[in-house]
Amino acid sequence: MIRVNLLPFRLERKKENIRRQVSIFFLVIIFSLLLLTWYTLGLGKKIEQTRLDIEAVNRQIALYKGKADRVAQIKKDLKILKNKLEIVDSLKNKRNEHFDLIAELPGRLVPEKMWIEALKADSAKVEIKGVAFDNPTIAEFMKNLEALGWFTQVDLKQSVVRKLSDGHMLKAFELSCMKPVAPEPEETDKKKKKGK
């Protein structure tokens, strides 16, 4: 019988298997390194793109912040201008009130029994100083002022006897006429907003 020594063949096969496994191991390592390098490069590009996007957004924020600051300043200036215009309108109305009062006052006097010496007006009241022949004339003048409808209250502050150089006795009087209080412009705006 012939004997064949298979040991070197098995040994050779074992070595071949080991070489194959080592080759596969190194190929897996090289493939993993290539994959990691590709992933890292892709991630680096994404990070760079995100950084560029953030810079662009920050530039836009700075641009819009400047515009927003300008809009806020314009709103503030408009509010100041609106307040000034309301003051001008108020002054025009008050000027017209005083002209109307001066134009209307002679028609409310009791003819040939009294005259006005001084007239002082402000936003809350009108003070009238004058001279009349007697107290009923003063009372009639007060009724005429109340009938005008411009005042909430007409009060006689004082009435004193004044003696003229020719001996005639007259009544010097002082009246205080209260005007209705107009609401502040901001209060009326608030009331309108609440009503909506």
pLDDT in tens, 104-121: 777 778 888 888 888 888
Whether this prediction's pTM lies above 0.85 is answered by no
Residue with the larger pLDDT of the pair 193 and 12? 12
Strands of the 114-121 sheet, one edge to the other: 114-121, 125-132, 169-178, 153-163
**Residue with more model confidence, 5 or 9:** 9
pLDDT band at residue 46 under the 50/70/90 scheme: very high
Give the pLDDT confidence score for residue 28 in this predicted structure.
Answer: 95
> Phi-psi bin for 149: left (phi > 0), alpha (psi -120 to 50), beta?
left
User: For 25-34, 124-133, 143-152, which range has the lowest pLDDT when averaged over its residues?
Assistant: 143-152
Q: Are 128 and 175 in contact (CB under 8 A)?
A: yes
Among 24-28, 125-129, 146-150, which is the least confidently predicted range? 146-150
Segment 122-131 mean pLDDT: 85
The pLDDT of residue 12 is above 90: no
Q: How confident is the model at residue 190 (pLDDT cuts 50, 70, 90)?
A: low
pLDDT bucket at 196, cuts 50 / 70 / 90:
very low
Residue 125: CB partners within 8 Å, gap ≥ 6?
176, 177, 178, 179
What CA–CA distance (Å, rounded) separates 127 from 139? 16
